[in-house]
Amino acid sequence: MYNNVGDYPTAAMEDGMLPQAFARDMAWLSENRYRVVSLSDAMAMAEGSTPLADQLLTLTFDGGYRDASEYVAPILSKLGFPATFFVALPDLGSSLTVGGMASPCMDIDGARGLIASGFSLGAYLLGGRIYHETMQDDLIREIDEAVSFFSSQLQVPLEYVSVREGIPGKAVRTVLQSHGIKGFLTKCPTKQRPHPYCIGRIQIDDDDPNIFRVKISKNYLRFKDSRIWPYMRKYRLDRLAHRISDTINARRDGA
């Protein structure tokens, strides 16, 4: 899971990464024979009897930032990597506030261009707010509006939606099913067994290649979804990996 990929001011880069770092990581995946599959293919594998490969990844991008067309899509197309871009429909042609700063979003032509280039689109809901059950009516309204927009303006069905964080309850799941939406994506950990409406993702927001390689490992996924992860976050022990990597990088650069 990625957010903005661009050369933004520092205040807007908490969840973002530089284009050159993204390009380097994607090249590393290709060179090391990782299999990057579409979200729909990954869902089919997860729901079927075919075992998932060790080096299999799906790429998703939340927010619908303009940099998706400028930086991300050309890199992915060159490598033949599929991806799903979740666009914030109310902000098409406008911007989302990131770190107190306005980050430009793609317009409808940019969204249509991604579809024409073979990428899939989903709806990024609630504008980056963390979902709670008290927001159920807002979420359902946005789902209904997104289904209509995808059908009328993009001429493709809405199959996947995402939020920054949060898991839908029964009422929202019923709405998703009624519209034929195949998956609801959020951020890991979810503290629930995975199912189509509870798909956790690992957020990639570090320019450090060592951290990227740790985050895409199965061991990291198991560790992050464990019971001790909240305590690691509380006491900032997760930052230890960053400090170790900084030391490794400093020694390498000084060699």
Q: Please tell me the number of Cα atoms within 13 Å of 121 on its side-chain side.
A: 31
Domain ranges of the chain: 10-209
Please answer whether residues 204 and 188 qualify as being in contact, where contact means their C-beta atoms are separated by less than 8 angstroms: no
How is residue 172 written in tokens?
A: 């929202």
Strands 120-124, 160-162: parallel, antiparallel or unpaired by DSSP?
parallel
- Residue 236, pLDDT score: 61
Question: What distances in angstroms separate CA 69 from CA 3, 41, 119, 205, 210, one per listed residue?
Answer: 13, 23, 11, 18, 26
Cβ(18)–Cβ(46) under 8 Å? no
| Domain 10-209: CATH superfamily, name plus number | Glycoside hydrolase/deacetylase (3.20.20.370)
Q: Encode burial over 92-112: b for 16+ CB neighbours within 10 A, e otherwise.
A: beeebebeeeebbbbeeebbb
Contact 106, 92 (CB under 8 A): yes
> What local confidence, expressed as pLDDT, does residue 229 receive?
64
Question: What pLDDT sits at residue 217?
Answer: 87
pLDDT of residue 114: 97
pLDDT in tens, the chain (255 residues): 999 898 888 877 888 899 999 999 999 999 999 999 999 999 988 887 666 777 899 999 999 999 998 999 999 999 999 999 999 999 999 988 877 788 899 999 999 999 999 999 999 999 889 999 999 999 999 999 999 999 999 999 999 999 999 999 999 999 999 999 999 999 988 878 878 999 999 999 989 999 899 889 888 877 777 776 666 656 665 565 555 555 455 455 555
SS (H, E, C) the chain: CECCECCCCHHHCCCCECHHHHHHHHHHHHHCCCEECCHHHHHHHHHCCCCCCCCEECCEEEECECHHHHHHHHHHHHHCCCCEEEECHHHCCCEEEECCEEEEECCHHHHHHHHHCCCEEEEECHHHCCCCHHHHHHHHHHHHHHHHHHHHHHCCCCCEEECCCCCCCHHHHHHHHHCCCCEEECCCCCCCCCECCEECCCCCCCCCHHHHHHHCCHHHHHHHCCCCHHHHHHCCCCHHHHHHHHHHHHHHHHC
Bridge partners, residue 97, by sequence:
102
The structure's pTM equals 0.89
The position carrying tokens 């898991």 is 167
Q: Enumerate the β-bridge partners of residue 103.
A: 96
